[in-house]
């Protein structure tokens, strides 16, 4: 089976499941597709081990391997999904809540990485399979950021007030870029253990990637906005410009080792601000990127479900999964509440907003893709299982129950 056939099968199957979820199920398509793909894999593996071997199980495994999940997500889907998410936001609300979003995206993410890193180190020591602390921090870096793909998809199907939505979506878009930079920085530290690594060199690398990505994104967004103004009535040209900018700046940033994710988000917000003032461009661009986002989301969650075919669970792995889910949820609660009780105590935040920020902290395909990119080691399997456990719990449980936290008619935070 060649690459084109693999892509066609994934698109066909994911759109079929998306239709079934939209027509017969009252849950958001991403949750339904993930749930159905997981049930399919579990059923097939159960039949294969208890009744009779299934020849097609190996074909599914080959399909998953051929899809190259990490490359498909990080190199192809991620820039488009990030841009689509940023372009759909209300920039006036993002600007109004910039301080809270920045605090959640930077301080909370860094703090979460540290807490989860130490927590995983303690859990694995208790299970007599210790993972070195630096590798635990690597896991903390990939699991701490909320996934923009999962969060934005959830918000589209939940009737959340605009200001709370801006905080949740804005945080997920920016801490995604911060998380990738943290992950790559720690991965480089692990790779360069033979060399002298200082705090100043690590901090310089981190700031270079973050500030460099934001700078290129802002400049690209302003240039793109200027061209769109000159071609105001030509919507097809505007679409081509947006596609060119998204794929071009993301690839360029990755080539020069700065954050392509942050560049795409910054560019998307600038273009969003522009199209809000032009109703014709707004309808065409947002319809195109919204449709593309839905299709890519369906394929992504199908792949997440199918990735489980290569995992095996025993008692230690189950204990690890339950422990890491509890740790991630407690850490999320602490790192959301702490900034609003200390540094942001002058900002009035409702209890409902805090609950939605905590329970809406979904993890998704990006965490799995980053975990898959870790070079094979004795700890690789446990890191993959811990990642998968958190991703499945946040999407299937938190994503499907977030609507129960939303009180109709409640007031937003001021």
Tell me the two tokens of residue 118: 């130490």
C-alpha distance from residue 113 to each of 106, 118, 310 (Å): 11, 9, 27
Return the percentage of the chain with pLDDT > 90, whole number.
Answer: 15
Structure token digits, residue 113: 């990485």
pLDDT in tens, 343-355: 667 777 777 788 8
Give helix 78-87 / helix 148-156 axis angle, nearest 10°: 40
Helix axes 78-87, 279-306, angle to 10 degrees: 140
User: Cα angle vertex 207, ends 204, 213, to 5°?
Assistant: 135
Query: How far is Cα of residue 312 from the mean position of the Cα atoms in its chain?
Result: 24
**Res 149 pLDDT > 60:** yes
- Which domains are seen in the chain, by residue range? 69-405 (1.20.1530.20)
Q: Which of 17, 313, 79 is nearest to 213 (CA)?
A: 79
User: What crossing angle do the helices spanning 260-275 and 235-255 adopt, rounded to 10°?
Assistant: 160
What are the tokens at 61? 């495994």
CA distances in angstroms from 330 to 111, 262, 351, 404, 412, listed in the order given? 13, 27, 17, 20, 25
DSSP label at 3?
Answer: H
**Is the pTM of the predicted complex or chain greater than 0.85?**
no
Question: Dihedrals φ, ψ of 88, to 5°?
Answer: -90, -5
Say whether pLDDT at 3 is over 60.
Answer: no
409: phi > 0 → left, psi -120 to 50 → alpha, else beta; which? left
Q: For residues 407 and 338, which has the higher predicted lDDT (pLDDT)?
A: 338
Sorting pLDDT into bands at 50, 70 and 90, what band is 67?
A: low
Whether residue 95 is predicted with pLDDT greater than 60 in this model: the reply is yes
Q: Around Cβ 114, how many Cβ atoms within 10 Å? A: 16
Res 82: pLDDT: 84
pLDDT, tens digit, 9 for 90 and up, residues 370-396: 888 887 788 888 998 999 999 989 888
* pLDDT reported for residue 411: 41
Rounded CA separation 25/379 (Å): 39
What is the reported pLDDT for 171?
Answer: 83
The mean pLDDT value for 324-337 works out to 93
Predicted confidence (pLDDT) at residue 282 exceeds the cutoff of 80? no
What pLDDT score does 190 carry? 81
Radius of gyration for the chain, computed over Cα atoms and rounded to the nearest angstrom: 21
The overall average pLDDT reported for the chain is 80
Q: Which two tokens stand for residue 128?
A: 């007599």
Query: What gap in Å lies between CA 6 and CA 29, rounded to an integer?
Result: 21
Question: CB of 115 within 8 A of CB of 335?
Answer: yes
**Nearest residue to 390 via CA among 155, 142, 152:** 142
Q: How many CA atoms lie within 13 A of 60 on its CB side?
A: 21
* 30-39, 52-61, 124-133, 352-361: segment of lowest average pLDDT: 52-61
- Three-state DSSP state, 114: helix
Task: For residue 323, give the nearest of 126, 142, 112 by alpha carbon.
Answer: 126
Please name which of 31, 61, 48 lies closest in space to residue 311, comparing C-alpha atoms.
61
Residue 23 structure tokens: 């027509």
Contact call for residues 333 and 325 (beta carbons, < 8 A): no
The per-residue pLDDT for range 111-136, each reduced to its tens digit, is 999 999 999 999 999 999 899 999 99
- pLDDT at position 413, please? 42
Stretch among 164-168, 277-281, 390-394 having the lowest mean pLDDT: 277-281
């Amino acid at each position: 089976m060649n690459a084109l056939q693999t892509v066609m099968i994934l698109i066909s199957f994911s759109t079929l499941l998306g239709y079934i979820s939209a027509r017969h199920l009252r849950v958001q398509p991403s949750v339904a597709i993930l749930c159905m793909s997981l049930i399919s894999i579990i059923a097939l593996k159960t039949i294969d081990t208890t009744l009779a071997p299934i020849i097609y199980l190996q074909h599914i495994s080959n399909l998953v391997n051929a899809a190259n999940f990490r490359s498909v997500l990080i190199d192809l889907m991620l820039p488009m999904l990030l841009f689509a998410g940023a372009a759909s936001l209300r920039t006036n609300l993002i600007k109004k809540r910039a301080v809270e979003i920045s605090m959640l995206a930077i301080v909370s993410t860094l703090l979460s990485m540290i807490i989860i890193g130490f927590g995983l180190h303690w859990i694995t020591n208790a299970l007599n399979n210790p993972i070195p602390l630096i590798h635990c921090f690597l896991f903390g870096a990939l699991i701490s950021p909320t996934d923009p793909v999962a969060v934005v998809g959830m918000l589209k199907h939940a009737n959340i007030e605009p200001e709370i939505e801006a905080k949740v979506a804005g945080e997920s878009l920016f801490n995604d870029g911060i998380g990738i930079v943290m992950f790559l920085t720690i991965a480089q530290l692990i790779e360069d253990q033979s060399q002298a690594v200082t705090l100043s060199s690590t901090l310089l690398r981190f700031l270079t990637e973050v500030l460099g990505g934001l700078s290129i994104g802002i400049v690209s967004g302003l240039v793109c906005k200027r061209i769109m103004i000159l071609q105001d009535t030509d919507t097809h040209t505007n679409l081509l410009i947006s596609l060119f900018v998204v794929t071009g700046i993301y690839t360029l940033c990755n080539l020069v080792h700065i954050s392509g994710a942050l560049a795409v988000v910054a560019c998307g917000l600038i273009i969003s601000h522009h199209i809000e003032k032009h109703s014709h461009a707004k309808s065409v661009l947002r319809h195109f990127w919204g449709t593309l986002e839905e299709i890519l989301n369906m394929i992504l969650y199908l792949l997440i479900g199918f990735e489980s075919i290569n995992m095996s669970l025993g008692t230690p792995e189950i204990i690890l999964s339950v422990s890491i889910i509890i740790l991630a949820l407690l850490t999320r609660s602490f790192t959301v509440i702490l900034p609003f009780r200390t540094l942001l105590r002058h900002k009035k935040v409702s209890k409902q907003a805090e609950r939605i920020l905590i329970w809406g902290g979904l993890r998704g395909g990006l965490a799995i893709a980053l975990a898959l990119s870790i070079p094979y080691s004795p700890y690789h399997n446990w890191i993959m299982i811990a990642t998968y456990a958190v991703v499945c719990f946040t999407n299937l449980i938190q994503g499907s129950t977030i609507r129960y936290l939303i009180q109709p008619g409640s007031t937003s935070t001021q």
